[in-house]
Structure formats: C-alpha cells, structure tokens
C-alpha cells in the first residue's frame, strides 16, 4: 500500500531545512571571512576613518570583505565606546556597511544554486584536512557558500508543493500582497536569525516563485533593514553613552529611510524596476537590486546632512545619570 506524504509536511521540512542551511551558510561565510581578516578589520577602522568620506568607504569595503554588516557595526560600537573613533565617523561606517552587505543578496540572486553541493564537498575537504589556517578559513568560506546555495535550492524545492496545497497557497494569496505585513515579517525574522542577508535570500525565493508580489518583497526588504539593528543595541548594552548613541545612529538611520520609502513607495518601486531594466536584467534580480538601491539612496541622503543628524542623536540620546559624566566629557561627536 502506497502512502502519500502530506504536502504541508514537505513544505515545513523544506522550509526549516532550507532556512537553517541559509542562515548557517551566511554565518559560516562571515565567520570565515572575518577570521581571515580580523586584525585588518580593527586596524583599518581605527586608522582609515579620519574623515566621514574615508569612514564611509571603509565601512562599505570591509563589509563587502567579510559579508556581515552586523560584525562591522558591533566592532564600530566597541571602537566608539573606547573613544578610538568619533560618533560622526562611526555613522559613516554604518552608511557604508549597509551598502557592503548587499553583495551577498546580489550573489544569491544569480541562478547558480546548482553549485551548492560541489561547494560543500570542496569546502568541507579543505576545512577538515588542511593544516594551514588560511586554507581552513578558505574552506569555511566555500562551505558557507555551499550551505547558502543548498538552502536556496531546498527552499525552491518547496514551491511546487506550496502551489499544490490549496491551504498554504491561499495563505500566500491572502498575505502575499501586503507590504506592511511584509515589513513586520521581515523585521521579526531578521531579529530572530540575526542576518538580513538570509531573510533577503528567502524574499528572493518567494518573489521569483510568484508567491509574493513586488510590493510585499519591498516590504520584507525594508523590514530586514530594521531587524538587523537589534544586534547593535545588544552590543551596546554594557557600553557608555557613546555606544548607545552609535546603536541609535544605526537604528534611526534605517527607520527614517524606511519611512521615506513608504511615503514615496510607488516612485521607489518604479526606480528599482527601471534600474533593473536599464541593466538588462530580468525580474530574478529585482529584489537584490531593490536592497542595494535602498541602501545606496540612504547613504546619498544622509552623508551631506551627517553633521545635523549626529547633533540630533546627541540631543535625543542623553545620559540617565551623571555618574560618568566627567569621564565622557571629551567630545566624540
């Protein structure tokens, strides 16, 4: 007697497995890149951020190098906390980091998921049998890519079953056309997995499968950018007022940019679509391009007004007690 597996169980299994592979892959990739460049990260951030433009370029370059805006932001919070860089330059790093992290989403938008298993095999062999630390780190990086593309493949494998299941498909039909619902889901998901890259990857899968429309994909992407701020606040919990201000620089920057996009939602959506067409790309690249355009526009708007933004942060984020006021008297903004 042949028993048929309920499509909902297959969908849940693929969703959990694919999401775990995706999140683990992004974390492993970041860890491998970070370990290969740990000393360089702190050195560049402390020596090459003497001005706002330098800080911005350093933030973008280093985040593209380690593929983790969270890592760069947490290091930045620590450096501001210790007085090694100013709050103004820390803001420049954060603007740049938001752009640098979009590289992962761009890579995930290419149709190269079939390299997942070969990358896993090569990466695990290098990581397990290599005696050199540099080769082991390279193995971690390749394994990370392997898990990312294997996770995307697994999530894609659920699409036929979602369309087959009337119950699940109706859920997507009902909530797959709401940018506001997408925003809150993206924010909560990113807070849980601590990786905007992973949730953007998931958004790419849903949009390319036709399970959500473009407006909801934008909502999810906007939510990802807010959700990723949670880690910066966690890093600043034990710090001084400057660490807290750095975390709020990151959060309010993303929140203000998201509100601006919601106000000008249609022009923003048209811009993302037009840029994708101008680049000669199809809709499979649309979510990744939207993610990049959002963060580039944010930097373009905030860099010229950074001085006023930092004054605003210093005004609204104040010390609750004056115990360490003399210690923090030195101007860092």
The CB-side HSE value for 129 (13 A sphere, CA atoms) comes to: 6
pLDDT at residue 177, rounded to an integer: 78
Q: What backbone torsions phi and psi does residue 128 show, to the nearest 5 degrees?
A: -90, -40
- In the numeric block, the tokens 């028993």 are attached to 3
In whole angstroms, how far apart are CA 171 and each of 88, 174, 301?
A: 45, 5, 37
pLDDT at residue 3, rounded to an integer: 47
Q: What is the pLDDT along the chain (333 residues), one digit of tens a residue?
A: 344 566 677 778 888 888 888 888 877 877 776 665 556 666 677 666 678 888 898 888 888 877 777 778 878 887 888 777 889 999 999 999 999 888 888 888 877 667 778 888 888 888 777 778 778 878 888 888 888 888 888 887 877 877 777 777 677 777 677 888 889 888 888 887 777 778 888 888 889 888 889 999 999 999 988 988 887 777 666 678 888 888 899 999 999 999 999 999 999 999 999 999 999 988 889 999 999 999 999 999 999 999 999 999 999 988 765 444 544 444 455
Burial (Cβ within 10 Å: 0-12, 13-18, ≥19) of residue 166: exposed
Q: What backbone torsions phi and psi does residue 329 show, to the nearest 5 degrees?
A: -65, -30
132: left (phi over 0), alpha (psi -120 to 50) or beta: beta
CA distance 195 to 191: 8
User: Could you tell me the residue ranges of all domains in the chain?
Assistant: 7-316
pLDDT at residue 128, rounded to an integer: 79
128: left (phi over 0), alpha (psi -120 to 50) or beta: alpha
Radius of gyration of the chain (CA): 21
CA distance 5 to 197: 32
CA distance 133 to 71: 21
Residue 231 structure tokens: 């880690």
Burial (Cβ within 10 Å: 0-12, 13-18, ≥19) of residue 13: middle
67: left (phi over 0), alpha (psi -120 to 50) or beta: left
Is the Cβ–Cβ distance between 138 and 132 less than 8 Å? no
Closest by CA to 289, choosing from 279, 276, 300, is 276
User: Which H or E run includes 4?
Assistant: none
pLDDT at residue 329, rounded to an integer: 46
In whole angstroms, how far apart are CA 300 and each of 56, 67, 92?
A: 11, 21, 11
CA distance 234 to 243: 10
């Amino acid at each position: 007697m042949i028993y048929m597996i309920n499509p909902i169980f297959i969908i849940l299994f693929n969703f959990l497995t694919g999401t775990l592979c995706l999140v683990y892959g992004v974390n492993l990739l970041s860890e491998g890149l970070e370990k290969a460049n740990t000393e360089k990260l702190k050195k560049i951030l402390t020596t090459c951020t003497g001005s706002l433009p330098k800080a911005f370029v350093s933030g973008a370059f280093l985040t593209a190098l380690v593929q983790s805006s969270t890592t760069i932001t947490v290091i930045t919070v620590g450096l501001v906390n210790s007085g090694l860089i100013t709050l103004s330059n820390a803001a420049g790093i954060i603007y740049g980091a938001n752009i640098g992290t979009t590289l992962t989403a761009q890579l995930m938008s290419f149709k190269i998921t079939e390299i997942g298993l070969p990358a896993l095999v090569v990466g695990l062999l290098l990581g397990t049998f290599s005696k050199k630390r540099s080769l082991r780190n390279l193995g971690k990086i390749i394994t990370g890519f392997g898990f990312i593309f294997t996770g995307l493949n697994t999530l894609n494998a659920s699409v036929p079953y979602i369309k087959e299941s009337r119950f699940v498909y109706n859920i997507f039909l009902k909530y797959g056309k709401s940018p506001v619902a997408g925003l809150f889901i993206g924010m909560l998901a990113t807070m849980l997995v601590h990786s905007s890259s992973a949730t953007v990857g998931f958004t790419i899968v849903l949009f390319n499968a036709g399970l959500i429309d473009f407006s909801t994909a934008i909502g999810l992407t906007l939510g990802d950018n807010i959700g990723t701020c949670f880690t910066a606040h966690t890093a600043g919990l034990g710090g001084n007022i400057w660490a807290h201000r750095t975390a709020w620089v990151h959060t309010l920057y993303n929140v203000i940019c998201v509100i601006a996009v919601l106000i000008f939602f249609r022009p923003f959506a048209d811009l993302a679509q037009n840029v994708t067409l101008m680049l000669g790309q199809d809709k499979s690249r649309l979510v990744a391009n939207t993610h990049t355009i959002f963060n580039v526009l944010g930097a373009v708007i905030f860099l010229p007004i950074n001085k006023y933004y930092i004054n605003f942060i210093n005004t609204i984020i104040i010390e609750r007690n004056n115990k360490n006021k003399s210690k923090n008297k030195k101007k860092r903004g």
